Chain A
């Protein structure tokens, strides 16, 4: 599928608007987990890294690609795990037998 610069710009613009709008609604309570979640999502760089490491066009590109795969996977795994770990801690007050 061919890719044109202008297509890319369109996608970028729309995604930025969606991003700004969605993020603005994120609860302030959750800003720390939000940041670790977006950390994991921005490790989407793994896509580029996998292509480089897999296409094996030159020794240099394979090596750099492999290192980049390692760095991004670390972010994906630790990012999602720690986000979930933090979110599990956010609890509402337990009713403790009384009515709310």
Chain B
């Protein structure tokens, strides 16, 4: 029987690898989901065949309830996908933490805690619980239940490091003497608290990196669980998830030209409070009709969306604009910055939902060489990712961050609510450039009006 179970696990592992492999191309990606579902079904069936299982009620009922709770969670609007993702990292972390806790008390009772088992449990429990609370805070910030700005206080990093050091010390004590069962709850509390304090000081604009990092932790917690449960399937699937989170985190940090340490301990967007070089400059503004005319006469338009597009739910209007312009033979492309939005790839999903064909979505590195030839760059709710200060101003906190070269287009149209600086609190020179025209107002309304005047113009 055991051989059979291991064989089933082997097939499940292969299916998981195929599942991720097929994600390399949108054309095969849906097959990837089916492979994933197949792998998971096999994993569950294989586990249910385990000879040590004595009763099925405690499995079947939560399985059904979980499925019932999971279905509505998959219906969230796509603007809320970051929150949902964070929430599911929290569930994943919780599951790992609980399994570790249960195993600890079982083995402690029977005196079966070896050094190795204790080490694996300590790792699983710390990773699991810190992922759980950290992700809950991240979800709260994304849902704006908790203020999205970085919450900081004096000595924050010292306190965080002390807490982590304490947790590590408790873990070491437990490994030396696993019978100190009173220390175990202390470890849990420390891990839970560390998760909260780790994410609280991180601002909304850094969420793509944080979510990726938490994704990686959730995977590593599953790996640790694999060592606790002595199960290779858990180790492989956890490692795949951990690798995915790691790569996404690296992509995100690179796109912001920052290190992990800087994201985690830097409290971005907080430092720039000083009223330094705030000179009075005026930006030129334009009306929706002007914009419509400029767009109509262009032969190539690059649209640069940012989180602001998601906030004002403007993506469907953007689609209308895309249709109107394409109809007139204007070449419309979308320039996607890797950190635009609140999670990796967020803009792509929103635009795909609005039925923009994905071959029109172009990555930053591929679009930048084309920018000088673009007639119009239309910036919708993006800010820091188009700020030329990142290229020029050594004193700017975003100096060195790769940006989309919107300023190189012949005309820049920027839709913005007001002249207030963006999330990171940094002035954007782009808005004061000679070739920039500002369109003030809510992105959805502004684009709606542009589309209306375009449509009205078709008559003549």
A residues engaging B (CB < 8 A)?
A: 1, 3, 5, 7-8, 11-12, 15-16, 18-20, 22-58, 60-62, 64-94
Contact = CB atoms under 8 A, between A and B. Distances in A.
A46 B43 contact: yes
A72 to B, nearest CB: 5
A52 B103 contact: yes
A45 B74 contact: no
Nearest to A36: B85
Interface string B80-91: 010011001101
Contacts, number: 372
Contacts of A48: 95, 99, 225, 228-229, 231, 234
A53 B145 CA distance: 34
A15 B170 CA distance: 30
Given A32-B348, A39-B88, A82-B81, A70 B69 contact: yes
Given A50-B47, A77-B71, A93 B357 contact: yes
Nearest to B211: A35
B227 interface: yes
A54 B230 CA distance: 17
Interface string B98-127: 110111011001000000100000000000
A55 B349 CA distance: 42
Contact of A74 (B52, B70, B357): B70
Which 5 residue pairs are nearest across A and B when measured between Cβ atoms? Answer: A73-B66, A77-B70, A19-B243, A31-B345, A54-B53
Contacts of A62: 58
B237 A60 contact: no
Given A3-B232, A73-B67, A80 B37 contact: yes
Nearest to B239: A15
B225 A53 contact: no
Given A30-B345, A66-B62, A80-B37, 12 more contacts: A8-B227, A26-B24, A38-B244, A41-B16, A44-B40, A45-B222, A54-B56, A72-B66, A78-B70, A78-B84, A83-B33, A88-B30
B348 A29 contact: yes
Contact of A35 (B16, B63, B65, B344): B344
A48 B350 CA distance: 35
A7 B449 CA distance: 64
Contacts of A76: 40, 66, 70
Contacts of A15: 235-236, 239-240, 243
B306 interface: no
Interface stretch (B212-220, B370-378, B390-398, B440-448): B212-220
Contact of B81 (A32, A44, A57): A32
Contacts of A50: 44, 47-48, 50, 53, 59
B21 interface: yes
A90 B77 CA distance: 16
Given A36-B81, A71-B95, A20 B247 contact: yes
Given A64-B102, A68-B95, A41 B19 contact: yes
Interface in B218-265: 218-219, 221-223, 225-248, 251
A23 B3 CA distance: 30
Nearest to A34: B23
A80 B345 contact: no
Given A56-B54, A78-B70, A82-B84, A30 B26 contact: yes
Most A CB atoms within 10 A — which of B16, B74, B101, B234?
A: B74
24 contacts: A26-B244, A27-B24, A31-B348, A33-B345, A35-B215, A36-B85, A37-B33, A41-B39, A43-B92, A45-B225, A46-B47, A47-B43, A47-B47, A49-B99, A52-B103, A56-B55, A64-B98, A66-B62, A69-B58, A73-B65, A74-B67, A76-B70, A81-B70, A93-B359
